[in-house]
């Protein structure tokens, strides 16, 4: 049993990036990770947005679950824009992410802060509070996309 456990742990461990500084072995891993986090976040922001705009019936429990998912993931993409992760697989990262890193960090921090407020609003169960928070979340998404996300994918 112990040997099986150790073998399983070794196999799982092999999936992780070895260097302590980087959680990603290849630029492709970082790109895939950040795109994946954004995909799940976008889906759940969309679900809350549908409720906030009246396109879907308000379900307080579902909204709170989605907001918790978005808040849990919000800080992840920003960890995966390390040097050299502009190429490796098709992605939409603009060069300004690295050439204007301070502005990019500010935009990322703003998103994280607004998502935290959305999470608190959703936990309160108030649709009006969710609507207000969603406006700011949507604004933070759009601002960062406008400045740092290209129209088309490049490799």
Query: By rule CB under 8 A, what count of residues binds a second copy?
Result: 53
* Mask for 106-145, x = binds a second copy (CB under 8 A): -------------------------xx-xx-xxx-xx---
Q: What's the min distance (Å) between Cβ of 122 and a second copy?
A: 14
Segment contacting a second copy by CB under 8 A, of 8-16, 91-99, 110-118, 143-151: 8-16
**Buried b / exposed e across 118-134, counting CB within 10 Å, b at 16+?**
bbebbbeeebebbbebb
Closest to 91 (Cα-Cα) out of 70, 104, 77: 77
141: annotated binding-site residue?
yes
- C-alpha distances in Å from residue 73, one per residue of 7, 11, 88: 30, 25, 23
Which positions make up the binding site for heme c?
Answer: 141, 144-145
């Amino acid at each position: 049993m112990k040997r099986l456990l150790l073998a399983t742990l070794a196999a799982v461990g092999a999936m992780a990036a070895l260097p302590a500084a980087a959680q990603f072995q290849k630029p492709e891993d970082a790109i895939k990770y950040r795109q994946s986090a954004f995909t799940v976040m976008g889906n759940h922001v969309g679900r809350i947005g549908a409720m906030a705009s009246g396109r879907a019936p308000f379900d307080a429990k579902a909204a709170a679950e989605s907001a918790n998912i978005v808040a849990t993931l919000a800080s992840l993409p920003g960890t995966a824009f390390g040097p050299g992760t502009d190429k490796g697989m098709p992605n939409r990262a603009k060069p300004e992410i690295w050439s204007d890193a301070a502005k990019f960090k500010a935009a990322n921090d703003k998103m994280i802060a607004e998502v935290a407020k959305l999470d608190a609003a959703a936990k309160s169960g108030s649709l009006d509070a969710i609507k207000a928070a969603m406006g700011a979340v949507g604004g933070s998404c759009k601002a960062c996309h406008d400045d740092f996300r290209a129209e088309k994918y490049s490799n």
